[in-house]
Amino acid sequence: MEEQKVHFNIPPFHPKAFQYMEDAVARQKICGDGFYTGKCTEWMKAQAKAAGALLTTSCTHALEMAALLSGIGPGDEVIMPSYTFVSTADAFVLRGARAVFVDIRKDTMNLDEALIEDAITPRTKAIAVVHYAGISCEMDTICRIAKKHQLKIIEDAAQAVLCTYQGRSLGAIGDYGCYSFHETKNYSMGEGGAILLKNQKDILNAEIIREKGTNRSQFFRGEIDKYSWKEAGSSYLPSDLNAAYLWAQLEEAEAVNRRRISSWSLYYELLQELEAAGDIELPVVPKGCVHNGHMFYIKAKDLEERTALLQYLKEKGISAVFHYVPLHSSEAGQKYGRFHGQDRNTTRESNRLLRLPMYDGLKEEQIRYVASEVKNFYRQF
Ligand SMILES: *Cc1c(COP(=O)(O)O)cnc(C)c1O
């Protein structure tokens, strides 16, 4: 076994987390919607300028809430990319809907906005966009299409906390936006997420769905004198202990964001000569998009070259990984979805993509080491 020199990810942690978790215990309210949940919620609402924000047990659950709030049911269709995490599809498939996969753009790995309209049928109810690597989809065009055909927009913004499109926060552009605070994301509570609500009128319903279908949230605020079962719902609210762990990071989110972007930029700068030589391709950030350094990926020539590069880096003690296997090629994807139009980019581009180590705390010399080993790999030929 070779020595591991550079990890792929180290879960986010801020030392103040223990102090805040102790405080949460002292406050004797460690269930959902306690003091620290409130802190995180206010932070999200303020930074994203959303009408509402609710902390959830995961981004997957936030997506499930978005599916419920959108009224998605059996036979409905939801347009989405095939190049995404399973939860984007699961949330709607659980409601009996069909996933309609549309090809991605080669430059951003995001849903190709030019192909959406052709996939719309009388059954289409929503478009689920994924802002891959925290780089925005072409939201002006997508919002125009949604408005014209009266479709809901759900943003899977799992990777996109603190990212913007034309100055607007990702997650707060569509009807519903879903964040992830999983340990692989920029800010974490172990397992967790949030749903952002664009419209004031969704807030009460979202609170009810998240509190087992009851209006307990209103009861706790003293707005009603007893709570009761109002709708079909579930339990999607995390413990305040987890929120306390997260709050320690959110308090210093801007600093984390700056460090990640500077790591991303250093990779970009160091690997530019390989792109110029035609060996690899680097990520593209379209005009008007501001990302958060969530991920740094490169593209090799093809699957065979990527496999060789991954193995080479592994031998050098560097943990690099590939990413999503397109959903339409999976067992469930074939059962619950269909690919509309031609797969020009989804399979080919996903086969070429390789993610380099990226986390807050990654050192400059580690980035230089990784970049130099990627260069050494291409010098062999
Ligand atoms: C991480 C991720 C999810 C799932 O997040 P969880 O919080 O683990 O449920 C969903 N979609 C995308 C695009 C992700 O990156």
What are 261-278's pLDDT values in tens digits?
Answer: 999 999 999 999 999 999
Q: Which atom of ligand 1 is nearest to the CA of 193?
A: 7
Q: How far apart are CA 214 and CA 202, in angstroms?
A: 15
Confidence of residue 380 (pLDDT cuts 50, 70, 90): confident
Query: CA 168 → CA 48, 162, 272, 289, distances in Å?
Result: 8, 10, 29, 9
Q: How far apart are CA 364 and CA 263, in angstroms?
A: 7
- CATH architecture entry for 253-379: Alpha-Beta Complex (3.90)
> Domain-by-domain residue ranges, the chain?
16-250, 253-379
* 16-250 matches 253-379 in fold: no
Instruction: Of 305, 321, 324, give the one whose Cα is nearest residue 359.
Output: 321
Q: Candidates 55, 59, 236, 292: which one to mutate for ligand 1, based on the most atoms within 8 Å of Cβ?
A: 59
Q: Which of 65, 81, 72, 88 is nearest to 125 (CA)?
A: 72
The CATH architecture one would assign to domain 16-250 is 3-Layer(aba) Sandwich (3.40)
> For residue 293, what are the contacts with CB-CB under 8 A and spacing of at least 6?
134, 186, 257, 259, 260, 261, 262, 263, 264, 358
Residues in the ligand 1 pocket, defined by CB under 6 Å: 58-60, 84-85, 87-88, 130, 156, 158-159, 180, 182, 193
- Give the dihedral of Cα atoms 113, 154, 347, 358; nearest 10 deg: 110
Q: Read off the pLDDT of residues 40-94 as tens digits, 9 standing for 90 and up.
A: 999 999 999 999 999 999 999 999 999 999 999 999 999 999 999 999 999 999 9
> What are the pLDDT digits (tens) for 297-320?
999 999 999 999 999 999 999 999
How many Å lie between the centroid of ligand 1 and the Cα of residue 286?
23
